[in-house]
C-alpha cells in the first residue's frame, strides 16, 4: 500500500463525502366531497407514492427514502399540508435507518399543517438506530381550530433479531405543536454518548429497547382518552409500559418496551382503535401490515 493511500485511509474522518439530501412537500385538497392530492414536490432522495385504494378508503401517501437510510450530514425536509375538510394519511414504505456516523448528525425536519375541519394522520413506521448513529429530528406542527391530528414517531435501538446493541450515539427528538396559533405542546427527548447506560437507567427508559410517542391533537382529546380507557384489553404485553397525559387539546401517549415487536404491536392497536373511533372506515395503512 502506498504511503499516500495509507494516509488517506487514516484521515477519512476529515474527508467530505457525498451526502443524501431530500425534500418533500405534499398538500391535500377537498374536491367533490373527496380528498385529493393538490400539490406534490419531491427532490433528491425523498419520494412519495399514492396507492390506488377502494373508492371510499382513506386517502394515503407513502414516503420513500431512496438513499436507504441516513448517516452523518444527511439532511431531509418534509412538509405536509392537509387542506380544509380533508382526511388523509401519510406513512413510510418501511422503517427508517440511522447508520454509524463519523461525526455529524443526520437531520430530519418535518412540518405538518392541518387546516380547519381536517383529519390528519402522520403515521411513519419506526426509526432504527444503529450503534454509533447520530440524528436530530424536529417536528413542527400547526393545527387550525377544528382540525385534528393523530401522529406518531417511534425509535428502536438496534435490531433484536440480529442481537445488535446500541452502545453510543446521539438522539434528539422534539415536538412543537400549535393549536389555533397557540403553543399547546412542547417535548424534547435526548440521549447522548453512553447510550446503553442511559437506556438501562430506570428514570430514563427502564431498560427499554424501543420507544414510541403517539399524539392526538384536537378539541376532542379528552373524549379520545376516555374512549381508550374502555379499550385497554389486548394491550398488555410483557415488559411493555404505557403512559399517557392529557393537556388542553392534546393527548400524549408514550410506550416503552424491552421488545421492539411488542412496542410495535401495542402502537398498532392504539392507532387502530383511535382511527376506528374517529371513523370506522379509517384503518392502518397496508404497509404497516406487510
**What is the structure's pLDDT at 218?**
98
Q: With cut-offs at 50, 70 and 90, classify the pLDDT of residue 112.
A: very high
Q: With cut-offs at 50, 70 and 90, classify the pLDDT of residue 3.
A: very low
Residue 193 located in a structural domain: yes
Q: Are 74 and 20 in contact (CB under 8 A)?
A: yes
Is the model's pLDDT at 11 over the cut of 50?
no
Residue 39 located in a structural domain: yes
Residue 167 located in a structural domain: yes
Beta strand 127-129 pairing with 148-157: parallel
d(CA 111, CA 142): 8
Residue 77 located in a structural domain: yes
What proportion of the chain, given as a percentage, has pLDDT over 90? 74
Is the model's pLDDT at 127 over the cut of 70?
yes
Q: What's the domain range around 210?
A: 25-289
**What is the structure's pLDDT at 160?**
73
Residue 8 located in a structural domain: no
Is the model's pLDDT at 197 over the cut of 90?
no
Q: With cut-offs at 50, 70 and 90, classify the pLDDT of residue 13.
A: low
Dig out the grid coordinates for 34 from the structure: 373527496
**What is the structure's pLDDT at 5?**
39
* Position with higher pLDDT, 17 vs 253: 253
**What is the structure's pLDDT at 4?**
42
Is the model's pLDDT at 181 over the cut of 80?
yes
Residue 158 located in a structural domain: yes
**What is the structure's pLDDT at 14?**
55
Q: Span 43-71, mean pLDDT?
A: 94
Q: Are 147 and 117 in contact (CB under 8 A)?
A: yes
Residue 14 located in a structural domain: no
Q: Span 75-80, mean pLDDT?
A: 98
Is the model's pLDDT at 76 over the cut of 90?
yes
Q: Please state the domain count of the chain.
A: 1
Residue 16 located in a structural domain: no
Amino acid at each position: 500500500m502506498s504511503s499516500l493511500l495509507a494516509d488517506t485511509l487514516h484521515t477519512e474522518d476529515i474527508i467530505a463525502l457525498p451526502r443524501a439530501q431530500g425534500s418533500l412537500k405534499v398538500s391535500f385538497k377537498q374536491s367533490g366531497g373527496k380528498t385529493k392530492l393538490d400539490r406534490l414536490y419531491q427532490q433528491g432522495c425523498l419520494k412519495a407514492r399514492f396507492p390506488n385504494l377502494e373508492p371510499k378508503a382513506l386517502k394515503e401517501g407513502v414516503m420513500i427514502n431512496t438513499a436507504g437510510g441516513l448517516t452523518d450530514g444527511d439532511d431531509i425536509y418534509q412538509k405536509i399540508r392537509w387542506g380544509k375538510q380533508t382526511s388523509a394519511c401519510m406513512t413510510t414504505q418501511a422503517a427508517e435507518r440511522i447508520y454509524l456516523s463519523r461525526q455529524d448528525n443526520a437531520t430530519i425536519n418535518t412540518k405538518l399543517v392541518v387546516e380547519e375541519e381536517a383529519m390528519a394522520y402522520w403515521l411513519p413506521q419506526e426509526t432504527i438506530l444503529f450503534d454509533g448513529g447520530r440524528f436530530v429530528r424536529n417536528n413542527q406542527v400547526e393545527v387550525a381550530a377544528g382540525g385534528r391530528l393523530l401522529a406518531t414517531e417511534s425509535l428502536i435501538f438496534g435490531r433484536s433479531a440480529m442481537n445488535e446493541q446500541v452502545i453510543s450515539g446521539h438522539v434528539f427528538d422534539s415536538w412543537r405543536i400549535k393549536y389555533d396559533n397557540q403553543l399547546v405542546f412542547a417535548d424534547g427527548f435526548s440521549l447522548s454518548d453512553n447510550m446503553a447506560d442511559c437506556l438501562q437507567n430506570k428514570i430514563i427508559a427502564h431498560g427499554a429497547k424501543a420507544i414510541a410517542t403517539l399524539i392526538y391533537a384536537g378539541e376532542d382529546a379528552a373524549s379520545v382518552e376516555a374512549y381508550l380507557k374502555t379499550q385497554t384489553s389486548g394491550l398488555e404485553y410483557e415488559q411493555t409500559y404505557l403512559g399517557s397525559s392529557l393537556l388542553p387539546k392534546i393527548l400524549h401517549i408514550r410506550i416503552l418496551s424491552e421488545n421492539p415487536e411488542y412496542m410495535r404491536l401495542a402502537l398498532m392497536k392504539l392507532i387502530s382503535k383511535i382511527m376506528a373511533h374517529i371513523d370506522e372506515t379509517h384503518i392502518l395503512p397496508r404497509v404497516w401490515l406487510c
